[in-house]
Chain A
Amino acid sequence: MKSALLSNVNVESIARQIGRHEVHIAQGFGVWTQELADPASATFSFQPASIFLILDGAELLRGQRGLQPLLAELDEHLAWIDRAAAHFPGIKFFVSTIDVPTRTLRPVKDERIERLIEEHWHEGIRRASAASANVYIFDLKQLIEESGRFHFYSNKRWYLGGLRFSTTGERLIAGEMERILDAQMVARKKCLLLDLDNTLWGGVVGEDGINGLQLSETGPGARYRDFQLRVRELGKMGIILGLVSKNNEADALEVFEAHEHMVLKKDDFAAIKINWSPKAENIAALAEDLDIGIDSIVFIDDNPLEREAVKSALPEITVPDFPSDTSELPSFLERVYKECFFTIESTEEDRKRTKTYLANAKRAAERTMASSIDEFLEGLRTKIFLTRAGEEDFGRAAQLTQKTNQFNLTTRRYSEQDLRTLESTRGGSVYIASVADKYGDNGKVIVGILRRATPDTAELDTFLMSCRVLGRFVEDQVLDHFVGELRRDGFSRLQVRFTPTRKNAPARAFVERLHGGRLLPSDAESGELIWEFDIAKASPVTKPAYAELVAKQLLLDEVVS
Chain B
Amino acid sequence: MVEKLIETIARALRVPPSTLTPETGPGDLQVWDSLAQINVVSEIEAEFGVSIPFEQVAEIQHVRDFLPYLGKTS
Contact = CB atoms under 8 A, between A and B. Distances in A.
Interface stretch (B17-25, B37-45, B64-72): B37-45
B43 A167 contact: yes
Interface string A138-175: 00000000000000001011011101001100000000
Contacts of A166: 42
B9 to A, nearest CB: 14
Nearest to A158: B38
B42 A161 contact: no
Nearest to B14: A16
Contacts of B38: 13, 157, 160-161, 163
A12 interface: yes
B73 to A, nearest CB: 16
A157 B42 contact: yes
A167 B54 contact: no
Contacts of B41: 156, 160
A140 B38 CA distance: 23
A157 B36 CA distance: 11
Contact of B35 (A154, A159, A161, A167): A161
B34 A167 contact: no
Contacts of B34: 161
A483 to B, nearest CB: 62
B13 to A, nearest CB: 10
A170 to B, nearest CB: 9
Contacts of B29: none
Contact of B42 (A10, A159, A167): A167
Interface residues of A, number: 13
A493 B4 CA distance: 72
A240 B12 CA distance: 41
Interface in B41-59: 41-43, 46, 54, 57
Contacts of A154: 42
B54 A160 contact: yes
Contact of B54 (A12, A156, A163): A156
B39 A167 contact: yes
Chain A CB within 10 Å, residue with most, of B35, B46, B54, B57: B35
A430 B14 CA distance: 65
Contacts of A157: 38, 42
Contacts of A13: 35, 38-39
Nearest to B57: A160
A178 to B, nearest CB: 16
Contacts of B39: 13, 167
A167 B57 contact: no
A82 to B, nearest CB: 33
A46 B1 CA distance: 44
A13 B13 CA distance: 11
B54 A159 contact: yes
Nearest to A160: B38
A159 B38 CA distance: 10
A157 B43 CA distance: 11
A20 to B, nearest CB: 14
Contacts of A160: 38, 41, 54, 57
A161 B37 CA distance: 10
A166 B46 CA distance: 10
A16 B57 CA distance: 22
Interface in A5-40: 10, 12-13, 16
A278 B38 CA distance: 55
Contacts of A12: 35
Contacts of B54: 156, 159-160
A166 B38 CA distance: 10
Contacts of B35: 10, 12-13, 161, 163
B10 to A, nearest CB: 15
A163 B42 CA distance: 11
Given A13-B38, A156-B41, 11 more contacts: A12-B35, A154-B42, A156-B42, A159-B54, A160-B41, A160-B57, A161-B34, A163-B38, A167-B42, A167-B43, A167-B46
24 contacts: A10-B35, A12-B35, A13-B38, A13-B39, A16-B14, A154-B42, A156-B41, A156-B42, A156-B54, A156-B57, A157-B42, A159-B54, A160-B38, A160-B41, A160-B54, A160-B57, A161-B34, A161-B35, A161-B38, A163-B35, A163-B38, A166-B42, A167-B39, A167-B46
Interface of A: 10, 12-13, 16, 154, 156-157, 159-161, 163, 166-167
